[in-house]
Amino acid sequence: MRKLLVLALVLCLLAPFLLAAEADTKASKRVESAGTVLDEIQGAPDQRIPEEVLGSAECVAVIPTLLKGGFIVGGRYGKGVASCRTPKGWSAPAFFTIGGGSFGLQIGGEAVDLVMLVMNKDGMKNLLSSNFKLGADASAAAGPVGRHASANTDWKMRAQILTYSRARGAFAGLELAGAVVKQDKDSTRDFYGRMVPFKTSLEGDVDAPQAAYPFLNTLAKWAKSAEAR
């Protein structure tokens, strides 16, 4: 009986550390998944973000697996990670949630990967606020798809943020009217070991930990490839 009591006491003392380690793993896995999603999308021969568009983006946000349920009756919710250009390269990742609003065509019963590109300083300013509504605080539109953007498209002028989705292997621009983006404070604390303001990470004022590089290296690879063309 005494051994069982000692074991129970030890487990109680260790529980907060075990939960913190699990949460940190989840945050790190999200960063890794974001890199995988971007790599797979840009590795496609034709259905991808055009090189000119990605090369012009100020910030890139990826939401791996938005909603494992119906868009119509299920909750519209997902968690993502973002990075912005800085004089030193791509910033340390910022964690956020996205939910609510209308997600364009309603797709029931499957997971969807989302990508959001912040295309100008106004859009970046809204993102740095860490709490904004697409279509209200920041204009958003479905982004063009293909290896290159058509010369007659006005993607540079259409919106502060361009949005994309991938489901069942199909990749397309997606409307995200009314979606609310907020900082994911729990994941931020789990990943950095402390609270790091959204603006601090996205402006490059905090060093990226090693666990951030599966996403940052992938982003740098494709953005550099786009800029070179």
Rounded CA separation 116/81 (Å):
10
- pLDDT reported for residue 121: 84
Predicted confidence band of residue 84 (pLDDT cuts 50, 70, 90): very high
Mean pLDDT of 37-57: 88
Lowest-confidence pick of 94-98, 152-156, 181-185, 201-205: 152-156
Instruction: Give the containing element (helix H, strand E) for 85.
Output: strand 77-86
The pLDDT, as a whole number, for residue 190 is 92
With CA atoms as reference, report the closest residue to 187 among 114, 81, 85: 81
User: Is residue 132 very low, low, confident or very high in pLDDT (cuts 50, 70, 90)?
Assistant: confident
Q: How many helices (H) and strands (E) does the chain have?
A: 7, 10
User: Residue 17: pLDDT above 60?
Assistant: no
One-letter amino acid of 79: K
Query: Any idea which of 119-123, 155-159, 200-204 has the lowest mean pLDDT?
Result: 155-159
Res. 68: pLDDT tops 60: no
Q: Tell me the C-alpha distance between 28 and 96, whole Å.
A: 14
Give residue-wise pLDDT tens across range 178-222.
778 899 999 999 999 999 999 999 999 999 999 999 999 999 998
As given in the structure block, the two tokens for residue 103 are 């997600």
Which range has the worst mean pLDDT, 11-20, 165-174, 176-185?
11-20
> Which backbone phi and psi does 131 adopt, to 5 degrees?
-160, 95
The answer to whether residue 51 scores a pLDDT higher than 50 is yes
Look up tokens 């259409």; give the residue: 158
The pLDDT of residue 45 is 79
Q: Which residue has the higher pLDDT, 90 or 160?
A: 90
Give strand pairing partners of 79.
97
Amino acid letter, 173:
G
- Cβ–Cβ contacts within 10 Å for residue 84, how many? 23
Task: Read off the pLDDT of each residue in 8-35 and give the average, rounded to a whole number.
Answer: 56
**pTM exceeds 0.85, yes or no:** no
Report, as an integer, the average pLDDT of 45-67. Answer: 86
- What whole-number distance in Å separates Cα of residue 57 and Cα of residue 84? 9
Listed in sequence order, the residues at least 6 apart from 103 whose beta carbon sits closer than 8 Å to its beta carbon are: 66, 71, 76, 174, 175, 176, 179
Report percent pLDDT > 70 for the chain. 70
Write down the mean pLDDT value for the chain.
Answer: 76
- With CA atoms as reference, report the closest residue to 186 among 175, 174, 195: 195
pLDDT (average), residues 122-140: 80
Whether 150 has a pLDDT exceeding 80, the answer reads no
Lowest mean pLDDT among 89-98, 101-110, 210-219: 101-110
Q: Is the pLDDT of residue 156 over 70?
A: no
